[in-house]
Amino acid sequence: MSAVAAETAPGTRSRRRRLTERARDERRLAALLVAPAAIVMIAVTAYPIIDAVVLSLQRADLRFPGATKFVGFSNYGHVLSAPVWWQDVFHTAIITAISVAIEFGVGMALALVMYRTIVARGLTRAVVLIPYGIVAVVAAESWQLAWSLNSGWIPKLLGLSGDPLSHTFGTYVAIIVTEVWKNTPFMALLLLAGLALVSDELLEAAKVDGANAWQRFTRITIPLMKPAILVALLFRTLDAFRIFDTIYIFNQGAQGTESLSILNYKTLLDRLNLGLGSSVSMLLFVLVALIAFVFIKGFGASAAPGAEAVS
C-alpha cells in the first residue's frame, strides 16, 4: 500500500509541474464555469440537510417558539425507543419488498414483450407506459375509489361484502396494487435497456447447443442483464421505501399502513415538531443510504450499467 503511494506521489508532482500556463487557465475557467452549479447545489441540498441535522439535535417546536434548546441526541432516542418507529419500518419494508418483487416479475415480462414485438412495436410501448405517465395523486385517487365498497368496481367484481379498505390486509393489497400498476412501466423501461445489451449471436449459439428457451433466459439473458437489473431494483427500492403519495391519498396511514414518510410528514407538518421530525428525516435518510450501500457494495450495482456490460 505504502509502496504504491510512494510510487504515485512523485508522478503526480511531476505532472503538476508539467502543467502549461494554458492548462492552468483552462482549469481556472473550468472551475469558474462549474461554480454557479456547485453553489446552487450547495444552497438547495447541502444547506437544508445541514439545517435538518442541526434541528434534529434541538428541542425545536414551532408551537413553542420560546422553548427551543439544544438537547443532543435525545430526539434520536425518542424516535428509536418509540414502538411506532419500528412498526413503520416494518410497514415500509413489507410494502417495498412485495411491490418491488412484483414490479420486477411483471416488468421483466413487459420488457420481453416490448423487445420481441414485431408488429405495432411503438403502440405496444406507448400502451405499457400509460400508467407511468399518469399523475401519481390522480392514480392513487382513482384506485382508492375503485377499491371503495360504495363507489368502486373492485369489491363488486370480487363479490366482497365487507369493505376491503376497512382492514389491514385489504388496504395493503390495494396500496401494493396501486404502486405496482404505477411503477412497473418504469421497471420495464430500465429492463428493456438491459435486454438491448444481450447479443443475439450468443442466444443463437446457445440454441444451436441445444439450450431451451428457459435455459437461454436464465443462463444467458439474466447474467448479461445483471447490471441493468441491479440498477432497476436499486432505483425502485429507493423509491418504494420513501412511499408517501399513495398512502396519503388512501388513508394517511390508517389500518396499520403508516410508512416512514407518512410518519415524518405527521411529525413535521401536522405536529410542527421540527426537532423530532428532523430526527425522523435523518434516520430515514440513513436507511435509504444503507439500502443504496447494500446494493452497490453488496451486489455490485453501478449507476452506469454500460460500463460494466463491456467487461
Partner 1 sequence: MFCPSTRPVRFRVLGGYSLAAAAALLLCAGCGASGKGPATLNWYVFPEPSGSFARAAAACTAASAGRYRIAINFLSTSSDQQRVSLVRRLAADDSSIDILAMDVDWTAEFANAKWIRPVPTALSAQIRSVDLPGPVQTATYRQRIWAAPINSNTQLLWYRKDLLADIHRRVPTTWAQMIADAIELAKLGKPHYIEEQGAQYEGLTVWFNSLVDSAGGQIISGANRVVLGRAAEAAASIMHRLATSGAADPSLNVAMEGSSDVAFDRGTAAFEINYPFVYQSAIAANPRVAKEMGYAAYPEAVSGVDPHVSIGGYNLAVSAHSAHPGLAFNALSCLTRKQYEIAYAVKGGLAPVRAAVYGIASFQKAYPFHALIERQLRTYGIRPQTPSYADVTLAIQKALTPTSAIQPATVVDSLRNEIRLSLSSGALL
The binding site for partner 1 (CB under 8 A) comprises 59, 61-65, 67, 74, 78-79, 82, 84-85, 148-150, 161-163, 165-167, 251-255, 263, 266-267, 269-273, 275-276, 280
Distance, CA of 225 to CA of 191 (rounded, Å) = 8
The least CB distance from residue 293 to partner 1, in Å, is 25
3-class DSSP state of 211 = coil
Q: Which is nearer to partner 1, 141 or 163 (CB)?
A: 163
Instruction: Copy the grid coordinates of residue 89.
Output: 419500518
Residue 165, beta-bridge partner list: none
Please name the residue that has the C-alpha cell 455490485. Answer: 300
Q: Which is nearer to partner 1, 9 or 84 (CB)?
A: 84
Residue number with CB closer to partner 1 (65 or 72): 65
Nearest-approach distance from CB 45 to partner 1, in angstroms: 21
**Nearer Cβ to partner 1 (162/300):** 162
Distance CA 167, CA 89 (A): 20
List Cα–Cα distances, 132 to 87, 250, 302, in angstroms.
Answer: 30, 19, 24
- Least distance from partner 1 to the Cβ atom of residue 65, Å: 6
Partnered with residue 69 across adjacent β-strands are 59
Residue 273 Cβ vs partner 1, minimum distance, rounded to whole Å: 6
Query: What is each CA distance from 142 to 149, 169, 187, 249, 307, in whole angstroms?
Result: 13, 19, 22, 10, 41
Joined grid coordinates for residue 110:
413487459
In the complex, minimum distance from the CB of residue 165 to partner 1, in angstroms, rounded to a whole number: 5
Distance of alpha carbon 36 from the chain centroid: 28
C-alpha cell at 88: 413503520
Q: Which CB sits closer to partner 1, 74 or 124?
A: 74
User: How far apart are CB 179 and partner 1 at their closest, in Å?
Assistant: 19
Question: Nearer to partner 1 by C-beta: 95 or 268?
Answer: 268
| Closer residue to partner 1 in complex, CB, 171/221 | 171
CB of 204 closer than 8 Å to CB of 280: no
**Which cell numbers in the block locate residue 309?**
456490460
Is residue 260 within 8 A of residue 79, CB to CB? The reply is no
CB of 149 to partner 1, least distance (A): 5
Q: Shortest gap between Cβ of 32 and partner 1 (angstroms)?
A: 19
Q: For residue 160, what are the contacts with CB-CB under 8 A and spacing of at least 6?
A: 149, 154
Is 64 or 299 the residue whose CB approaches partner 1 more closely? 64
